[in-house]
Amino acid sequence: LLKAGWNTVFCGRRKAVLDAAIVEAGRTEAKALAVACDISKAGEVDDLFETVAEAFGRVDLLFNNAGMGYKSTPIDEIPVEVWNDIVGVNLTGSFLCARAAFGAMRKQRPMGGRIINNGSVSAYAPRPGSVPYTATKHAITGLTKTLALDGRPYDIACGQIDIGNALTDMAQPMTVGVPQANGSIAAEAVMDVQHVADAVVHMASLPLEANVLFMTVMATKMPFVGRG
């Protein structure tokens, strides 16, 4: 986004990691700002958007990208606190950020903006033992559809990118072996995460009269389409 000319706010819990990401992006004409924030906490999200307003005056794009999961586990062995943590980040965090961004976009002049939610192929089909993660990603689909509807009068577009096996630190186990629907453990094909970034920039670059409501970007040979 920085390289595409967007003034960009990097948000996450650890400011040192955010600062490192800005450095990695390199020198750009666009401005970057790192703000430490736990998006599962309403007060911190409100403070985040106040900081954004003071720094840039308006909000034109929100990418709801924060998320967490848990190891493959039967539902009766999943601690309630794990469920609460995953719902707090994946769903409540997306709600809180979308709520703040929607309010800013509705009130600013010129009015409008775009919200992109990071869903998952799990929003369509679960992995074994993934109740908390899969439930939140199905809920993100509902959030996306409702925001796309409610945003119409205010020129607020909302879309969702569903990602399958992008090679990040979190996805590294895919290259070694993960549980399959038939009970086996198998390595899966992965793709460069840059393809996801390119897709997000494309979605963000559209005029507000156009919207990518849902896009799936996935490793071509991952075991998602089909049976087994």
Query: Exactly one of 70, 124, 133, 154 is catalytic; which is it?
Result: 133
**Distance in Å from the first CA to the final CA of the chain:** 37
Active site residue 124: no
Contact residues for 141 (Cβ-Cβ < 8 A; gap 6+): 119, 123, 160
Q: What angle do CA 64, 91, 131 make, to 5 degrees?
A: 125
Whole-angstrom CA distances from 187 to 130, 141, 168, 171, 220 are: 18, 28, 15, 11, 14
Backbone angles phi, psi at 217, to 5 degrees: -120, 120
Q: Read off the amino acid at residue 122.
A: S
Residues marked as catalytic: 133
